[in-house]
Amino acid sequence: MKITSLIDNISNCSMHVEHGLSLHLSLNNGKQILFDMGQGTLFLQNAQSLAVNIGSVDIAVVSHGHYDHGGGLSTFLQNNQKSEVYLHKKAFENHYSLRDSGLTYIGLDPHLRDHHRLNFCEGVTKIDDQLTLVSDVHGNLYNPIGNRLLFGPEEGKNDDFSHEQSLIVMEGKNVVLLAGCAHTGILNILKKATLEVGTTPTHVFSGFHLVKSQLSENAEFDFICGIAHEFQKYSNTKFYTMHCTGLEQYNTLRKLMGEQINYLSCGEQIVL
């Protein structure tokens, strides 16, 4: 399995970047998967630069209903004529972010809701023998504090992130968990994924949404230490983070966890 970052907030190899996420997976049997699509057209441009053919993608997944993960949906549908796209049934609900200017819409383009290639999921959805989608994650183990700035579907109510889903990919001895921003808490998602497939994921690829915590320096360090301590209980799991984790927060995790965690930036590839 080869995993390529098409979109991330940063790049170590001079790729164009944006606030967002898009990962391309190439499985050993030739199957190609696109996990998230960034904000618009950049994932397609970067894919072309990296010799990734978006038209050959067999299955696409949108992790949740935010523009930085599903804003490229229209571009994908225009440039791929065969792939089914899997979204949570609540992905097209209204979603907002509280910014200095007030509540800002950060949802998906509602005009795409009725496209015939969209498949709406909930709970656990088994796409095939290798691919399983998991949603409806509950728990309070180190949930992202920055969630308090996100609202929807009602403007005055905090988002419960019931529109979020994660993908489990099984290939040989590898059990790979992919999450977008892990708004429901990466540790809660990891626990549910483990229960669902009956084994601990060997690899986790996810943003952890540790940015915008607005905690004091000491409180943030303690929070990240707690996450690192929980991660280290999964001693056989390798973590790759990106996007909304934040570089400073990642660097703290790296100091605490060593080579058990790495950052996957735009343009980089991992072969499992």
Task: For the chain, give every domain's residue range.
Answer: 2-271
For the segment 144-169, the average pLDDT, to the nearest whole number, is 95
* Residue 244 clears pLDDT 80, i.e. is over it: yes
For the segment 170-177, the average pLDDT, to the nearest whole number, is 98
Note the pLDDT of residue 156.
83
Give per-residue pLDDT as tens, 81-114: 999 999 999 999 999 999 988 899 999 999 999 9
Note the pLDDT of residue 52.
98
Instruction: Report the alpha-carbon distance of residue 62 to residue 88 in Å, rounded.
Output: 8
Q: How confident is the model at residue 135 (pLDDT cuts 50, 70, 90)?
A: very high
Nearest CA among 193, 169, 160 for reference residue 64:
160
Three-state secondary structure call for residue 126: strand
Domain spanning 2-271, CATH architecture: 4-Layer Sandwich (3.60)
Note the pLDDT of residue 7.
98
The least confident of 23-37, 51-65, 143-157, 179-193 is 143-157
* Residue 155 clears pLDDT 80, i.e. is over it: no
Instruction: Say how many CA atoms lie within 13 Å of 51 toward its Cβ.
Output: 1
User: Across all residues in the chain, what is the average pLDDT?
Assistant: 97
26 vs 30, 52, 106, 119, 187, CA distance in Å?
6, 9, 29, 21, 26
Q: CA quadruple 126, 54, 250, 165: dihedral positive or negative? A: negative
pTM for this one?
0.97
CB proximity list for 129: less than 8 A, separation 6 or greater = 170
Instruction: Report the alpha-carbon distance of residue 133 to residue 127 in Å, rounded.
Output: 7
**Distance, C-alpha 6 to centroid of its chain:** 13
